[in-house]
Structure formats: structure tokens, C-alpha cells
């Protein structure tokens, strides 16, 4: 009998036949959804021999919903994600006029999914633009609810814009707006609460998986009270809530000041040898360079919304790009989570059995990890890795691989099932 996933005492309670709502998605959703579901179901069957099984519950959103119901985001769909806690979605068409942007945003805001989680791992054989992609093993925690994405913007020429500028110039004495007559204005809220819950989730993730470090990526050198505060709050939280489990960069600096660099290095080395996690920070522009040149130095990345947007796509490109990059939006305090293919609907190749199902497939593996079915998740990743090593891949990869066998979406997933 199918059952609901629930959340109590800070933990997901997962029955053996959980109902999981899904949005197939528009465009290539029709290709990649069935291909992926086949692999997940086979992996779960293989891992648990029939003792566990997902009951998939189709819900509508996007163009498919609009055609059937006249609504881009039917209320039942939102309710299903609330009722069943954990869900997954394919890509959705953005209608002209922008209704659906509020759809993705509505899901994130209504469920307060404050972490956008993007693992970045290399699969041997995947075409990559960098020299040593095998050194890339990172996981990005992007803050999902604040920053310039809060949408507090005032277009120049509007009365609202004038009101904000009058306040800034006349009441706050701001003199730094270069062209006050023609400036649009955007507001960047970054809170202590929002920063702390993000950094807390990132450190906990690193601890649970015994990962070596968490890097706070920011532009605190320029935006001191938003980006800089994010870094400071992050370090404070690490030192108070995770005392004894982490070693922070400010601690290294303090020891260096008191006893010299060698002593600081010794203490740090000993702490890391004991299994403590290194908490460090990096300025966003330097990070983008260093992550390319010294990928091995980074593991978990915690960052604000806009930096996270850029970083997610830049790192994804290092290990194969959007056809294969998975993602999830999660609230670790309530359990709500929606996993998703990170690319769009790819309308030109939709319905042609060409698309790479990798992004959705790996997002499903993240979902399996999230509900604690890690054996099945590992099977999905391993089998996909084997299909790639054997050079049996979809068109987007085959064109850059010597001697590859080009497979359709369905045939690629059949091959993965064979490799399970
Ligand atoms: P896109 O991601 O759909 O396509 C960009 C390029 O990547 C295209 O050349 C496409 O063919 C290719 N591509 C994407 N996914 C692929 C896959 N799985 N396998 C092989 N090739 C793949 O981005 P685009 O063209 O900007 O957007 C198309 C539509 O998707 C728009 O309506 C957009 O608003 C929507 N979109 C929805 C998102 C979501 O629901 N999360 C995210 C991004 C875009």
C-alpha cells in the first residue's frame, strides 16, 4: 500500500512505498521522463528486491497544465508537493508574459526551499573543456530566497523609483549614485537568519559525508554588509554550533598572529588529521579562477543567490554541461524538497528521442539519496557511469567522443538499465 513521506524530529520518515509527485515537464520532458523513471524503478528493484517501490504520482504544471486546465500552475499541483513533501520536476516552458517564472519561484517561495543544491561530479569519459576534470568533486549550496533575487527593483522614471531615490539622497545623504536622474534601483536583502540556515545545512552535509572542507564564496570585499556579513555570520556559526568539529580560517589567522605561520599550519594539520572540516572563504571572482585551476582544493561551496547562479553553471560546464547537471531545492528544516533537471525544455529536440536524460536521471539519484535510499542512488550513478565509459551515449556527448555509439534517449536508458 502506498504511503506518504512525513517529517518529524528533524528527520524524514520514509515508508517502503512512498508516493512521490512529479511534473513530467514540457518539451523534452516527454523524452527524458519515461527514460529516467525506468532507470530509477529498476535501480530500486535491484537494491531492495521488491521490498521498496516508489508510487509515482503525475501532477500538472507548465504548458501541459495550461492546455488541459487553462492554468499554468493548478492549485492541486502545489498541494501535492505540500502533502507528499518530496517531489521531482522536468523542465517547464516559460510562457510569453512571464507567468511561469512565478511558477518556479512560487514553488520555492511557498515551500521556502532555501537551499539550491547542485552537486558537480565528473563521470569518466564525459567530454570536458578542462585538463583534469577528474579532480572536480564539489557540491554547491546556493541560497535560494534572498539577495538581489528578492525582486525588489524600481525602474527609472517611475514614481516608486523617485521615492526611493529621494529617500536615499535627501534622508540618508547618499551621494554615490553616479547618474541619479536615470538610475534604476535594486535592493539586495541578505539576513543573518538566511545566511545561517544555508551555512548550517552546508556544514552538516559535509559532516554527514565526511567531506574535507566548506568554502564560503562571497564578494565581501565590495559589499561588506551583505556579502561580507554572510561570510562573518558563516564563520561565527561554524565556530559556535559546530565547535570541536570544524577548523576555521580565522582560527588559523589568529594562531598565526600569536605564534607564527608554522605553528598555525601545525595546528591546522592536526585538526584536519583528526577529521575536522576546514571552513574557509574565497572571493567570488578568485573562486571562479581557482576552481578551474585548482579544482581539488574545493569540496562543499556555500554562497549567496547570484554568485550561486553563476557558479552553478560555470562548474557544471567543467564536467559536461547542462545535459547532465542535476539539482534540488530543499528546506532541511521542514523536509520539503523538489529535485529538478537544471536545463530548459530544449524545444528544438523535443519529442525526437535525442535528449540526454542525465540531468533528470541524476536529480532522481539525489532524491533517492535524500530519502535515504542511497543504495539505489549509487546504482543509478554507477550504471550511468558505465554506459558513458563504454561510449554508449546520447548525441550531445557522442559528437565530442572518439569512437562513440550514438544512442537515442530511450536506448541510452535501456543501456543504463542493462549496466545496473
Ligand atoms: P535549454 O536548456 O532548453 O536549451 C539550451 C541548449 O541546450 C539547447 O541547444 C538545447 O537543445 C540543449 N539542451 C538542453 N537540455 C538538453 C538535454 N537534456 N540534452 C541535450 N541537449 C540539451 O534553454 P533555453 O533554450 O534557453 O530554454 C528553452 C525553454 O526552457 C524556455 O521556455 C525557458 O524559459 C525554459 N527553461 C526552463 C527551465 C526550468 O524549468 N527549470 C530552466 C531553463 C529554461
What's the confidence (pLDDT) of residue 101?
A: 58
Ligand 1 atom closest to Cα of 395?
Answer: 20
Tens digits of per-residue pLDDT, 32-81? 999 999 999 999 999 999 999 999 999 999 888 989 998 888 889 999 99
Residue 48 is a catalytic residue = no
Alpha helices in 49-100 (DSSP H): 63-69, 75-84
Residue 137 is a catalytic residue = no
pTM for this model (two decimals): 0.94
Low-confidence ranges of the chain (pLDDT < 70): 1-2, 96-102
Find how far residue 119's CA is from the centre of its chain.
7
Q: Residue 9: CB partners within 8 Å, gap ≥ 6?
A: none
The residue contributing the CA closest to ligand 1 atom 20 is 355
Q: Are strands 213-218 and 185-186 parallel, antiparallel or unpaired?
A: unpaired
The span from the first CA to the last CA of the chain, in angstroms, equals 26
Calculate the alpha carbon distances from 398 to 132, 288, 318, 401, 417 in Å: 20, 28, 17, 5, 19
Query: Which secondary-structure segment (H or E) carries 312?
Result: helix 305-318
Q: Is 73 in the pocket of ligand 1 (CB under 6 A)?
A: no
Q: Is 324 in the pocket of ligand 1 (CB under 6 A)?
A: no
Q: Reduced to 3 states, what is the DSSP secondary structure of residue 91?
A: coil
Tens digits of per-residue pLDDT, 296-344? 999 999 999 999 999 999 999 999 887 899 999 999 999 999 999 989 8
Give the active site residue among 89, 165, 219, 276: 219
* Distance separating alpha carbons of residues 201 and 197, to the nearest angstrom: 6
The residue contributing the CA closest to ligand 1 atom 4 is 346
Mutate to test the pocket of ligand 1, among 28, 343, 363 (most ligand atoms within 8 A of CB): 343
At which residue does the C-alpha cell 550513478 appear?
Answer: 381
Ligand 1 atom closest to Cα of 32?
Answer: 18
C-beta separation of 255 from 263 below 8 A: yes
Please, what is the average pLDDT of the chain? 94
The 8-class DSSP code of residue 170 comes to I
The residue contributing the CA closest to ligand 1 atom 42 is 344
What's the confidence (pLDDT) of residue 363?
A: 98
C-beta separation of 143 from 303 below 8 A: yes
The residue contributing the CA closest to ligand 1 atom 23 is 344
Residue 378 is a catalytic residue = no
Amino acid at each position: 500500500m502506498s504511503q506518504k513521506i512525513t517529517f518529524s524530529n528533524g528527520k524524514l520518515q520514509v515508508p517502503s512505498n512512498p508516493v512521490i509527485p512529479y511534473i513530467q515537464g514540457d518539451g523534452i520532458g516527454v523524452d527524458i521522463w519515461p527514460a529516467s523513471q525506468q532507470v530509477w524503478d529498476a535501480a530500486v528493484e535491484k537494491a531492495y528486491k521488491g521490498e521498496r517501490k516508489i508510487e509515482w504520482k503525475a501532477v500538472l504544471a507548465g504548458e501541459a497544465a495550461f492546455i488541459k486546465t487553462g492554468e499554468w500552475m493548478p492549485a492541486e499541483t502545489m498541494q501535492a508537493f505540500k502533502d507528499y513533501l518530496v517531489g521531482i520536476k522536468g523542465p517547464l516552458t516559460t510562457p510569453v508574459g512571464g507567468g511561469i517564472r512565478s511558477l518556479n519561484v512560487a514553488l520555492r517561495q511557498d515551500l521556502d526551499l532555501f537551499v539550491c543544491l547542485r552537486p558537480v561530479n565528473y563521470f569518466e569519459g564525459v567530454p570536458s573543456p578542462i585538463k583534469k576534470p577528474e579532480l572536480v568533486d564539489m557540491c554547491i549550496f546556493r541560497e535560494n530566497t534572498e539577495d538581489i533575487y528578492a525582486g525588489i527593483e524600481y525602474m527609472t522614471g517611475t514614481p516608486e523609483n523617485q521615492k526611493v531615490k529621494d529617500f536615499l539622497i535627501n534622508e540618508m545623504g547618499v551621494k554615490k549614485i553616479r547618474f541619479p536622474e536615470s538610475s534604476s534601483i535594486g535592493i539586495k536583502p541578505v539576513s543573518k537568519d538566511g545566511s545561517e540556515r544555508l551555512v548550517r545545512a552546508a556544514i552538516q552535509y559535509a559532516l554527514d559525508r565526511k567531506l574535507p572542507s566548506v568554502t564560503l564564496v562571497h564578494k565581501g570585499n565590495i559589499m561588506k554588509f551583505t556579502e561580507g556579513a554572510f561570510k562573518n555570520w558563516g564563520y561565527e556559526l561554524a565556530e559556535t554550533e559546530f565547535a570541536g568539529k570544524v577548523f576555521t580560517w580565522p582560527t588559523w589567522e589568529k594562531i598565526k598572529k600569536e605564534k607564527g605561520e608554522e605553528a598555525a599550519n601545525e595546528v591546522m594539520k592536526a585538526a584536519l588529521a583528526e577529521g575536522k572540516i576546514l571552513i574557509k572563504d574565497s572571493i567570488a571572482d578568485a573562486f571562479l579562477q581557482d576552481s578551474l585551476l585548482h579544482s581539488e582544493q574545493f569540496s562543499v561551496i556555500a554562497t549567496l543567490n547570484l554568485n550561486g547562479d553563476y557558479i552553478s553553471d560555470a562548474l557544471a560546464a567543467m564536467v559536461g554541461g547542462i545535459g547532465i547537471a542535476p539539482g534540488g531545492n530543499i528546506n532541511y528544516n521542514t523536509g520539503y524538497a523538489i529535485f529538478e533537471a537544471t536545463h530548459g525544455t530544449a524545444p528544438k529536440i523535443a519529442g525526437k528521442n535525442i535528449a540526454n536524460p542525465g540531468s533528470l536521471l541524476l536529480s532522481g539519484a539525489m532524491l533517492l539519496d535524500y530519502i535515504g535510499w542511497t543504495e539505489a542512488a549509487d546504482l543509478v550513478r554507477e550504471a550511468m557511469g558505465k554506459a558513458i565509459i563504454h561510449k554508449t551515449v546520447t548525441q550531445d556527448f557522442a559528437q565530442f567522443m572518439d569512437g562513440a555509439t550514438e544512442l537515442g534517449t530511450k536506448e541510452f536508458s535501456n543501456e543504463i538499465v542493462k549496466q545496473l
